[in-house]
A and B are shown apart, each in its own frame.
Chain A
Amino acid sequence: MKQVVVKNDLAAAKKPEEAILEAVRRFGYGENCTFAIKLALEEAVTNAFRHGNQKDPDKHITVRYEIDATKILIEIEDEGPGFDPGDVPDPTLPEYIDRPHGRGIMLMRAYLDTVEYIKGGCAVRLEMFRKE
């Protein structure tokens, strides 16, 4: 897998995000797939920056990816304490629907084939298989 380590900065994280999207287009994945990967990357990187690394500029975000004609595999890792995704409430429940946060994981799960938290929740593994 290719690996890129960037400072905990959303602008710095754009570079590996763009490289991944460029590879997704190069392997001929369609518009819907590109939309899904772009959305999932944004959500995963924002979670790493905000929740994992707590916006600490001295921490880093590690992006690993492997893209070929059959599948897209991405891992986003932060340097935070980790978390249990089971603790994140369902944002569609009436008591949470009006909250401004907490929809990122749900969106990633809706669009991708695999969203798996590893390393105690410090890293998320995103996987999408070619369907078209």
Chain B
Amino acid sequence: MAEQTSRLKVSEFDGMTIVEFSDRKILDELCIIEIQEELSRLVADKPGIRLILCFKTVEHLSSAALGMLITLRKKIEQGGGKLRLCDINTQIFEVFKITRLNKVFDIYPTIDQARNNF
């Protein structure tokens, strides 16, 4: 059963936590701070979390959002957990490629592939 918060849709699947974004644009600071706070609470509540972030609905992403993802990844790994990203559209994947963060994050084309062997 999915839990709808203000910025995120959170669900559980076979021990994994799957998060989808409610916003199509993850650009401005206020939006990013709220998403960061929600994700930080989720990670703090679940040490060793296996988190999949699904970008299916996301059409725009800023460098501040990339920074938020880097901080999140560090927190997850410090707690012994793992982070995977999936379903990133071509334009946003280009942002990851330009910044070379596609080599830093574990990125999968679809949510099914992200769930596999996680």
Q: A residues within 8 Å of B by Cβ?
A: 10-11, 32, 35, 38-39, 42-43, 46, 50, 91-92, 97-104, 106-107, 110
Contacts and interface: CB of A to CB of B under 8 A. Distances in A.
Nearest to B59: A35
B74 A98 contact: yes
Contacts of A98: 70, 74, 104
Contact of A91 (B68, B74, B91, B99): B99
Contact of A103 (B29, B30, B66, B91): B66
A106 B98 contact: yes
B99 A92 contact: yes
Contact of A107 (B63, B71, B74): B63
B98 A46 contact: no
Contact of B29 (A39, A46, A101): A46
A106 B99 contact: yes
Interface string B10-46: 0000000000000000011110000000000000000
Contacts of B67: 99-101, 103
Interface residues of B, number: 21
B104 A97 contact: yes
Interface of B: 27-30, 60, 62-64, 66-68, 70-71, 74, 91, 95, 98-101, 104
A107 B63 CA distance: 8
Nearest to B29: A10
Nearest to A105: B63
A43 B63 CA distance: 7
A103 B99 contact: yes
A38 B60 contact: yes
Given A46-B62, A46-B64, A104-B63, A35 B104 contact: no
Nearest to A98: B70
